[in-house]
Structure 1
């Protein structure tokens, strides 16, 4: 019997659907039992090249470690800690890599070792060729797995171990081939701010942080170290020198170049042999505790007068050109001393350290200064709003060499930054600057841990400026402080938004304050003005959620931040944020109120809390300059003050 055509089609679809459904169920079952989906790991700084090569490697309980050539103790210790933290119970050692792998083998060494060359070849990767570069390759075999960490040099191998630390978790690492190297040869920080210097413990913690981010430079130049500036001719007390020695040793172990800076400018007599000997003596003492890189700072001084009459005899009447000639004369001798001792280049910061304009001072300095001496430059201004490749190229022309950028962010030791933590992303530095700079160092805040979000961005930019993503790195910094906890991360980002303003020495900041909160308050203003009831409800709901988040963020941060020091440094800002958050909650309630009396009570209490919050001040002695704490200023305070005028509700009838 023939079925009607429509019935035939219906039965065909049923049969086809049954077959398709069965296939989907089979695929789903297979997917459930298969390896997890391979995804590219998030690595900061972003590597030059990363390629997934498989579905991932289970480390298991035992890993066999093979050293190829010389591996320094700190690098091996870091690799072992990474394996232990990932769940590996036993790390056995072997002297060679067998032909057939029956376990997970981890080979570490530098590219000049034949065993590394053979191991890299087995993974199909290429050896690193750039200074501080590395290759990290991992892939499965039939009965085991091979992981290779190959450094172009010892520094590169250490960076490879830091990358391994980022990608190893939960007993697994991804199957990847990473070929990586820094874009800039100098990356780090200069403790060069005015006010309370960091403690030795804070410096040690900061150096460890720098090492984890693949930085390589820490410059010791606190303006308030009297033995480096006001009393630069005097030797350090023995106890201070001992403490510095411990710091230098820690930096050297972690592949961070500890650079010691002296600031003799306010009182130096350039032509006096005794002053030259005082610098030599100070550097010799620091050399005795392991320092190998040195720096002479000649910033923030007068250069149109001499500190001694002998300089006028030696260099002529005081002016910019004579000052440059005198400085070059002194620095050239110091550079020669360093070369004789087998050390690297001397770094100096000139008296004209900002702008890229050709001047008599810069021209004379470029002409007279030993070309090996590195010159620091702060950009187009002391605190520049942006730095372009063209700016750096102009600086190269003006100073006669590529400059080392002293970036005055996130330093907060000037009047425009009073009462602020500077927590906006590191931004508005143009990709491609690596072609025109010798490197970048950040001048951080008096608050060491709170400086890390911005410093992390700067280091990531210096490592790979072409692939730098400011927003993504900023969020990664919040996750870092939160120890990976999502709720704490979100609380930190809420708090960061209230400290987003990045000031300059002028009236125009180079990053705006509280952009997320500003968007929400502006939406409420527009919704109220439009008369659209649905949009008004939606806008107030969104702002209400933001107010709840703001009020709750301080307690979440206090409970969840994993990096010691942040909560202590940020204490008054967190206290003020809680009050401002509550004030915003009350303001939203006032805007939602149905009668004028209720609204007035909400608005009045919001104003009282805002006034209380505005009176909280910075921790005495912890910050220069001190001042009232600022939380989303110009956004939050303005909205709370103006909110009562955005609605009209008649007073209740008596």
Structure 2
């Protein structure tokens, strides 16, 4: 695919955001992804794995020299490939401790991020308590403060309530009345806003829904698409199907579309390669044909046939519903292939991606 869709549709970002929990990608994998994304027609990549606590709960701690060097190299790699490089900062519940100390810490963090050379800065308030006074006002003020110290050309913030999904209020507390409207009113127009859709894991994005959210926020949202991500409670699934029920008209309804991939970077390429087809083919787009095309382009024929045979079981039944005999048969089949995707299937079957919050410190990125 010859051109990034962000170039075809002025002001529209099509990208990938590494924003999942669990086993992270390696630095080598992230770098190699720059070529894949550029070839497929994407225009941006955002680094924001939940594994990196120095972007989240421990955001006040600086990266090590090695981590900083990796990030600088990653930024250069994407920029040389013609893609925007982004970093997602989640200053954990900073609005509950908004004082001179946290302001000074944010200035230091922004200096660190500026030195990496990010084109896009994300300020994420997701997965934090939201039932606190003046939530929208405080978050808008923090965004303004960060923006004053950022050299990024684009800034995208994520609200604490980033979907209509009631699960957010069950976990993070009652949403303040008029939260989205007040946030949109207080946020400067230079900020874009992430939105996952009608639910955290949206299956579709109806135009009327996107128009209503745009009215509440006073700007078109940027879609954070949680397909094909399979972290946390979904670790036992592999989502290899092509994108479906996505709007080719999204560039007229939103400011961008960022996809959160699976912990399995190589297998994620299958579904990721189909999303640009949605925009390029419009009404002619067929998910089944797109999946066939993706497998044909990315995978040797025999492995492609095996994956196509197992797509439904991997996505609908998942590891937990496979019998011991089925797991052993699958291990024997995929063990025949010397290919990174087959190795990821084997790792999944061996429970290497099983999510365990206590295991975070054991994972490495190298």
TM (normalized to structure 1)?
A: 0.48
CA distance in 2, matches of 1:499, 1:455: 17
From 322, 327, 351, the equivalent of 2:160 is: 351
Conserved 8 A contact 2:243-2:287: yes
**8 Å contact from structure 2 (residues 95, 142) kept in 1:** no
Q: Contact (CA 8 Å) 2:262, 2:268: kept in 1 or not? A: yes
Q: Distance in 2 between matches of 1:398 and 1:388?
A: 16
Contact kept, 8 Å, 1:335 with 1:373, in 2: the verdict is: no
Q: Which residue of 2 aligns with 1:495?
A: 310
Q: Are 2:95 and 2:139, in contact at CA under 8 Å, matched by a contact in 1?
A: no
SS of the aligned residue for 1:499 comes to: helix
| Aligned CA distance change for structure 1 residues 385 and 418 (closer, same or farther; 3 Å) | same
CA distance, structure 2, for counterparts of residue 348 and residue 464 of structure 1: 30
**Alignment partner of 2:126: what SS?**
coil
Match of 1:479 among 278, 296, 320: 296
In structure 1, distance between residues paired with 2:212 and 2:113: 35
CA distance in 1, matches of 2:308, 2:335: 10
d(CA) in 2 for partners of 1:502, 1:278 = 46
Change (3 A) 1:624 1:383: same
Distance 2:341 2:45 in 1: 20
1:63-74 equivalences under 5 Å are none
Q: Runs of 5+ in structure 2 lacking a partner?
A: 167-174, 322-328, 358-366
Q: What 5-or-longer segments of structure 1 have no aligned partner? A: 1-43, 48-131, 134-154, 157-180, 306-317, 504-512, 514-550, 574-615, 627-654
Per-residue CA deviation, residues 494-520 of structure 1 (Å, 9 max, x unaligned), is: 1223224399xxxxxxxxx9xxxxxxx
Shift of 1:184: 7.0
2:162 equivalent to 1:384: no
**2-side partners of 1:247 and 1:462: how far apart?**
27
Could you list the per-position Cα deviations for residues 197-219 of structure 1 after superposition, in whole angstroms to 9, with x for gaps in the alignment?
21111211222211111111111
Kept after mapping to 1: 8 A contact 2:110/2:149: no
Aligned partners of 1:351, 1:284: CA distance in 2, in Å? 25
Residues 1:624 and 2:355 are matched in the alignment = yes
Match of 1:434 in 2: 251
Residues 439-470 of structure 1: per-residue CA shift (max 9 Å, x gap): 11111111111111122222333555454332
Change (3 A) 1:552 1:448: closer
Shift of 1:371: 1.0
1:452 aligned partner: 269
- Asked if 1:329 is matched to 2:125, the reply is no
- Matched with 2:362 is none
Pick the structure with greater CA Rg. 1
Q: Which residue of 1 aligns with 2:54?
A: 227
Q: Secondary structure of 1:477's partner? A: helix
Deviations 1:146-205 (A, max 9, x none): xxxxxxxxx96xxxxxxxxxxxxxxxxxxxxxxxx3487211111111112211112112
CA distance in structure 2 between the aligned counterparts of 1:273 and 1:470, rounded to whole angstroms: 52
1:411 is aligned, of 229, 234, 239, to: 229
Relative to 1, partners in 2 of residues 1:296 and 1:552: Cα closer, same or farther, differing over 3 Å? closer
Q: Which SS does the other structure have where 2:55 is aligned?
A: coil
User: What are the residue-to-residue correspondences of 1:243-262 with 2, within 5 Å?
Assistant: 243-262=70-89
Alignment pair present for 1:559 and 2:290: no
- Residue by residue over 1:574-595, the C-alpha shift from the partner in whole angstroms, topping out at 9 and shown as x without a partner, is xxxxxxxxxxxxxxxxxxxxxx
Structure 1 residue 293 displacement after superposition: 2.0
- With over 3 angstroms needed to count, the CA separation of the structure-2 counterparts of 1:554 and 1:429, relative to structure 1, is farther
Aligned residue for 1:571? 346
- SS of the aligned residue for 2:131 comes to coil
Instruction: Provide closer, same or farther for how the CA distance between residues 333 and 468 of structure 1 changes in structure 2, counting only shifts above 3 A.
Output: farther
Question: Given the alignment of the two structures, is residue 286 of structure 1 paired with residue 101 of structure 2, yes or no?
Answer: no
Tell me the matched-pair count. Answer: 341
How far is 1:423 from its partner?
1.3
Change (3 A) 1:569 1:184: farther
Q: Distance in 1 between matches of 2:333 and 2:198?
A: 40
* TM-score where L is the length of structure 2: 0.83
Q: Deviations over 1:304-343 (max 9, x none)?
A: 23xxxxxxxxxxxx2xxx10000001112323444xx4x4
**Residue pair 1:424, 1:499 contacting (<8 A) in 2 also:** no
Q: Does structure 1 conserve the Cα–Cα contact (< 8 Å) formed by 2:158 and 2:195?
A: yes
Matched residue SS, 1:570: helix
State the shift of 1:491 in Å. 2.3
Aligned to 1:361: 179
Structure 2 CA distance for aligned equivalents of residues 199 and 274 of structure 1: 33
- State the partner residue of 1:111: none
Is the partner of 2:45 in helix, strand or coil?
Answer: strand
| SS of equivalent to 2:268 | helix
Give secondary structure in 2 for the equivalent of 1:302.
Answer: coil
